[in-house]
Amino acid sequence: MARTDPRRRRSRRRVLAWVAGVLVLALAGGGVAAYETGRLDQWLGDDVAPIVAPVPGFTAPTAPTPRPVARPAQSGRPSAVAVRRGLAAALVDPHLADLRAVVAPLHGRPVLDLGHGSSTPASTLKLLTSAAALEALGPDHTFATRVVKDGRKRIVLVGGGDPFLASKQPADGPARHDASLQTLARLTARELRARGDRSVRLAYDASLFTGPRVDPHWPKTYIPDVVTPITALWADQGSDPDGEGRVPDPPATAAQLFATYLEKEGVKVEPKIVPTKAPGGTREIARVTSRPVSDIVERVLQVSDNEAAEVLAHQVGLAVEGDGSFDGGVRGVTKVLSGLGIDLRDARIQDGSGLSRHDRLDADTLVQVLQLASSPDHPELRSVITGLPVAAYDGSLGYRFDDSPGRGLVRAKTGTLTGTSALAGITTDARGRVLVFAFVSNHVKYAETLDTRAALDRLASALATCRC
């Protein structure tokens, strides 16, 4: 028998391998096409035969319900006797002057109600402002700082009441929420260059907020050491770009910073920058947008931000009363919370931050707001709870509750003015029940301020360890 040439055998194998590969690819492609077009279902039918035929008469046992990873929180109303017993030792602290104390379950009437009447709430008042802002504006609402065209050669920087408008873009580069004058200048310059404008006149509009920039119920010493004059346009909350302290005219300083950034982007700005009110219907050139209200609320509560709280109150006044002023903000916050069922009959609110010593609030009102924000019926208010600082961990509680059983278990808003110390928040007791509380101590001696604050921390920690 003649022997086949080895080279011809190798060539034949290569051809067969090539043909087999083509067939595999064709079948795979056809299968994918059949799957995507639905033909595969038609070929196979809706009822695919089981891999193993069931055994006649056999019934599989029902799978057991898995146990939860954590035990569910205790239901039912905590014992008023147990709460009072758990707080007994902490309540006799002599530094708790004129104490108003309210403790309640997550939903329902208080189980402890000590003291009487309204008190100066200090910064715990920010709970009311925050809840009203979330309800009136919505947690996803944002504020825009814009640049509009006003005539052939003039542009106007328009403040939108962004409490956290920054001067510079974040150091780590563009961010999701980069609301800065530097970024706004870059966007504006790009648009101007595209239209052939290399030189402009600049004006600024801070007219969104009206009335005085300083609450008349604040001590005069608050400006500029404690708080910035409240306006709809500023950068870095009116802090001085050349050093410490605050600037006397935040809108003018913001406009000057914006002009500086425009110059760096190659757009010449005429030296005279003036205030104005942008006419309606003008064409927008560029804008930057704030963080959502939910994020702003969390920041306000975390660090007890006075300026941002006042801006939120002004925005509520605009939305509800058409009045972006201190007075409009108070009326707006009051109307929104009253509409939510919060009892404000004995309240006297003068601002949005709690800086006024003329503010008066019942501790039970603070508990009502916290209960409302915890309710599944009001998910839009949840940032009031998530924004509360955690004991010994962050925000205004980051340096408190050291070596305390309340570490990590208490979340609360702080409040401190000369003569006043307050704490309002939530905790989980030793049985897993969530408790809501408000402790307000007025007429505190200045020398005993830190002692009173520590006494309030012990009260909250006693709740966290209570078997209520």
Angle subtended at Cα 376 by Cα 375 and Cα 381, rounded to the nearest 5 degrees: 65
Residue 71: per-residue pLDDT: 62
Instruction: Say if residues 450 and 421 touch (Cβ distance below 8 Å).
Output: no
- Which run of H or E residues covers position 434? strand 434-442
The per-residue pLDDT for range 191-214, each reduced to its tens digit, is 999 988 889 999 999 999 999 999
Q: Where are the beta strands (DSSP E) in 65-142?
A: 99-105, 112-114
Instruction: Say if residues 236 and 247 touch (Cβ distance below 8 Å).
Output: no
Residue 255: per-residue pLDDT: 98
Residues with Cβ within 8 Å of residue 25, at least 6 apart in sequence: none
Q: How far apart are CA 410 and CA 390, in angstroms?
A: 6
Q: How far apart are CA 239 and CA 242, in angstroms?
A: 9
Residues with Cβ within 8 Å of residue 375, at least 6 apart in sequence: 107, 381
Residue 72: per-residue pLDDT: 60
pLDDT band at 175 (very low <50, low <70, confident <90, very high): low
- Domain spans, the chain: 80-138+295-465, 144-291
> Quick check: pTM over 0.75?
yes
Q: How far apart are CA 189 and CA 240, in angstroms?
A: 25
Q: How far apart are CA 321 and CA 71, in angstroms?
A: 47
Residue 416: per-residue pLDDT: 95
Checking if the pLDDT of 20 tops 70, the result is no
Q: Is 421 left (phi over 0), alpha (psi -120 to 50) or beta?
A: beta
| Mean of pLDDT values over 91-111 | 94
Instruction: Say if residues 234 and 254 touch (Cβ distance below 8 Å).
Output: yes
The per-residue pLDDT for range 329-338, each reduced to its tens digit, is 999 999 999 9
The domain defined by 144-291 carries CATH number 3.50.80.20: yes
Residue 419: per-residue pLDDT: 94
Checking if the pLDDT of 319 tops 90, the result is yes
Cis peptide before 224 (omega within 30 of 0): yes
Residues with Cβ within 8 Å of residue 443, at least 6 apart in sequence: 97, 98, 419
Checking if the pLDDT of 54 tops 50, the result is yes
Q: How far apart are CA 216 and CA 230, in angstroms?
A: 12
Q: Which residues are catalytic?
A: 123, 126, 304
Q: How far apart are CA 352 and CA 226, in angstroms?
A: 15
Instruction: Say if residues 288 and 179 touch (Cβ distance below 8 Å).
Output: yes
Q: How far apart are CA 83 and CA 103, in angstroms?
A: 8
Residues with Cβ within 8 Å of residue 196, at least 6 apart in sequence: none
Checking if the pLDDT of 268 tops 80, the result is yes
Q: How far is CA 394 from CA 100, 118, 159, 305, in A?
A: 26, 29, 31, 14
Checking if the pLDDT of 46 tops 50, the result is no
Residue 409: per-residue pLDDT: 95
Checking if the pLDDT of 380 tops 70, the result is yes
Checking if the pLDDT of 242 tops 80, the result is yes
Residue 334: per-residue pLDDT: 98
Residues with Cβ within 8 Å of residue 231, at least 6 apart in sequence: 159, 206, 209, 213, 238, 250, 251
The candidate with the shortest Cα–Cα distance to 211, out of 60, 373, 80, 327, is 327
Residue 297: per-residue pLDDT: 98
pLDDT band at 24 (very low <50, low <70, confident <90, very high): very low
Residue 174: per-residue pLDDT: 52
pLDDT band at 12 (very low <50, low <70, confident <90, very high): low
Residue 61: per-residue pLDDT: 77
pLDDT band at 75 (very low <50, low <70, confident <90, very high): low
| pLDDT: which is higher, 123 or 174 | 123
| Mean of pLDDT values over 32-49 | 46
% of the chain beyond a pLDDT of 70:
85
Residue 74: per-residue pLDDT: 61
- Which run of H or E residues covers position 149? strand 144-149
How does the average pLDDT of the chain come out, rounded?
A: 88
Which tokens hold the place of 318?
């605009």
Residue 243: per-residue pLDDT: 79
Domain 80-138+295-465, CATH homologous superfamily name and number:
DD-peptidase/beta-lactamase superfamily (3.40.710.10)
- What does the DSSP 8-state code read for residue 168? S
Between the two ends of the chain, the Cα-to-Cα distance in Å is 101
Residue 40: per-residue pLDDT: 42
Checking if the pLDDT of 431 tops 60, the result is yes
Q: What is the 3-state secondary structure (H, E, C) of 409-432?
A: CEEEEEEEECCEEEEEEEEECCCC
| pLDDT: which is higher, 238 or 17 | 238
The per-residue pLDDT for range 295-310, each reduced to its tens digit, is 999 999 999 999 999 9
pLDDT band at 31 (very low <50, low <70, confident <90, very high): low
Q: Where are the beta strands (DSSP E) in 258-350?
A: 268-269, 274-275, 284-289
pLDDT band at 30 (very low <50, low <70, confident <90, very high): low
Checking if the pLDDT of 141 tops 90, the result is yes
